[in-house]
A and B are shown apart, each in its own frame.
Chain A
Amino acid sequence: MYQYDQYDQQMVDARVEEFRDQARRRLEGTLTEDQFKPLRLMNGLYLQLHAYMLRVAVPYGTLSSMQMHALADIADKYDRGYGHFTTRQNIQYNWIKLEDAADILADLAKVEMHAIQTSGNCIRNISSDHFAGAAADEVTDPRPYAELLRQWSSFHPEFSYLPRKFKIAVIASDTDRAAMRLHDIGIQIVEKDGTLGAAFYVGGGMGRTPMIAPCINEFVPLDQLVSYAEACLRVYNRHGRRDNKYKARIKILVHEMGAEEYTRQVEEEFAHMLKRGIEPPFAELERIRTYFEDPLFEEGASADIDRSDPDFALWVDRNTVAHKADGYVSAVISLKPVGGIPGDATAEQMHLMADLAKDYSFDELRVMHTQNIVLPHVRKADLHALWTALDEAELGAPNLDTVEDIIACPGLDYCSLANARSIPVAQQISERFAKNGKTEALGQLKLKISGCINACGHHHAGHIGILGVDRKGVENYQLLLGGSEAEDVSLAKITGPGFDEAGIVDAVETAADVYLRERQDGERFLDTYRRIGMTPFKEALYG
């Protein structure tokens, strides 16, 4: 995986010292909160419901064992013994003290990590396919391009004060595992006539106005990738609205300007950028690429798996994914135990996952946007030992992509923006389905819960989505059906009037029962919904 060069390290170290001075001045009183707030936000430090919250960037979701150990140490030393993995492949700590914040950033810098640009109206952490470099279906590893864009976007002076925050995802397969078309820019590395290029999708997003990004260029040569991204940002920076934060995202610009006109202006700007010669030298991309070369996979690794233990066999069936190398799989560690808090991991669990990555996955882990952890390169022969260790640490839940594998934002339990709690609803739903035994029959059913319209829990993209709202001071939950963030992307629709906390759990089960009754051979929940439409679900839900 990528390792900092002297420039990366100098930039991060300098930022730590800069923030240390800013925090000192705030504590001494020479900076007011109004003056300090934008400075702390540039370093990922929010003030949330109960305390300061620090969001740490995990570039394209990739972590080394050493980095995961460091994250665990921070949870132990500075927080309350746990961290929360987020829907943008980052990690958040909920109980940070301002007086510790600079020391935490210094500890992060020692393992080549930071919290820069995890907040504010700038280009945020670049996300990617959590199976990148391991997936059997990718045309190339997308991470070198994500890293190139990380370097380009870090401290980019022109894009440090955009109209609104800006999120980029990079993938390299037709299967979309990164919600690529629901980003401000989604980039898919594609192959055409034996040559790799980048398809640009611009103007997607969730939030209060969900939109699916249209493709504005099907094939940008990879040696012009940065110039094209720069052109997309420049047009947005020039025309994006700054008078209304709810209309400031690029999706609104593309929608109001029209994709055709936006594309025309991007192409015009792109032609200008090509003359400017901002593209990094090819040698730099090659330097980056060397860090993402395949590990030394064992030739002839056994493909046999002893499935005599039914619990292990179920975990293998549900939580392992095909790998490009024979005898290997990618193994998903679920952070969704029944009744647990989606995405939370204790320091002990983080240390264990780091150790297991060292023992079984070439020292590497990935954070999934679905709030689970991946060990990307595991020999099939090692799976039983891996599962045994995970299961003993309550990390062996066999529920990937099932109704129990719920995405949930922190909601009103932690977030100052939230209108309703998300986590208790997720807990009750996972308990309900674990108890009623329908999980296996339901198969793939992606359930996503947000505690407010900002949609950090991706409710628009759930096969079943739940949106928490405030109705006269009381939590209320809207049910949505038919969303997808995958290659068959679609936006979920609201079924009708909302439900209270108990009612929404019943409503999810009712919708699941409609699917079980109406489905045809091979159909997922989403397929059945798309075939039969909303009406049968509404009839079952509202009579």
Chain B
Amino acid sequence: MRILTGNDLKTGAVTWWTGSDWSLHVEDAVDVTGNEDEIARVEEAERRVNVPYAIDAEMHQGHPRPAHIKDRIRALGPTVRQDLTLKPADPEIRNWVI
């Protein structure tokens, strides 16, 4: 599957396309295969996201998981500062990233 990501224009935060809006959580991402260019064009024009692009992902325990480690780190936050990640209380989250 392909999912669409970018950075919020104002804050720079990593965001994921949910089908109707942008979410901070990759679990909310939807498959955009075939439509990624058009969605990216419209959303960038409306300034809701900065430099959107599509990445490969796979379903993992019912949710999208980016195929490449770089995108998984983007989705979560720095692996060396778990207190700054989106899931600071999850001791298993390293396994999801690595």
Contacts and interface: CB of A to CB of B under 8 A. Distances in A.
B42 interface: no
A32 to B, nearest CB: 8
Interface in B49-98: 50-51, 67-70, 73-74, 77-81, 84
A47 interface: yes
Contact of B12 (A52, A80, A413): A52
A33 B50 contact: yes
Interface in A454-495: 473-475
Contacts of B47: 27, 29
A413 B69 CA distance: 10
Interface in A161-199: none
B67 A97 contact: no
B74 A49 contact: yes
The interface residues of chain B, by DSSP majority, are classed as: loop
B44 interface: yes
B23 interface: no
B14 interface: yes
Interface string B5-25: 001011111100000000000
A50 interface: yes
B78 A473 contact: no
Contact of B78 (A47, A50, A416, A474): A50
B74 A421 contact: no
B10 to A, nearest CB: 5
Contacts of A96: 12
A416 B73 CA distance: 10
B88 to A, nearest CB: 12
Given A424-B80, A427-B80, A473-B67, A47 B10 contact: no
B10 A99 contact: yes
B7 A473 contact: no
B41 to A, nearest CB: 12
Contacts of B12: 47, 50-52, 95-98
A68 B62 CA distance: 48
Interface string A421-443: 10110010000000000000000
Interface residues of B, number: 23
A98 B74 contact: no
Interface residues of A, number: 28
A424 B12 CA distance: 24
A51 B7 contact: yes
Interface string A1-38: 00000000000000000000000001101000100000
A421 B67 CA distance: 17
Nearest to A32: B44
Contact of A50 (B14, B44, B69): B14
Nearest to B77: A50
Contact of A421 (B14, B68, B79): B79
A99 B10 CA distance: 6
Contacts of B44: 33
A29 B46 CA distance: 8
A49 B73 contact: yes
A412 interface: yes
Interface centre among B44, B69, B78 (most CB of A within 10 A): B78
A412 B68 contact: no
B7 to A, nearest CB: 6
Given A50-B74, A424-B80, A27 B9 contact: yes
A27 B67 contact: no
Interface in A47-62: 47, 49-52
Contacts of B11: 51, 97-99
Contacts of A414: 78
A375 interface: no
Given A33-B50, A47-B51, A341-B80, A473 B10 contact: no
20 contacts: A27-B9, A27-B47, A33-B44, A49-B14, A50-B14, A50-B74, A50-B77, A51-B12, A51-B14, A95-B84, A97-B12, A98-B11, A341-B80, A412-B70, A413-B73, A413-B81, A418-B70, A427-B80, A473-B68, A475-B69
Interface of B: 7, 9-14, 44, 47, 50-51, 67-70, 73-74, 77-81, 84
Listed from nearest, the 5 A-B pairs whose CB atoms lie closest are A51-B12, A52-B12, A413-B78, A423-B80, A97-B11
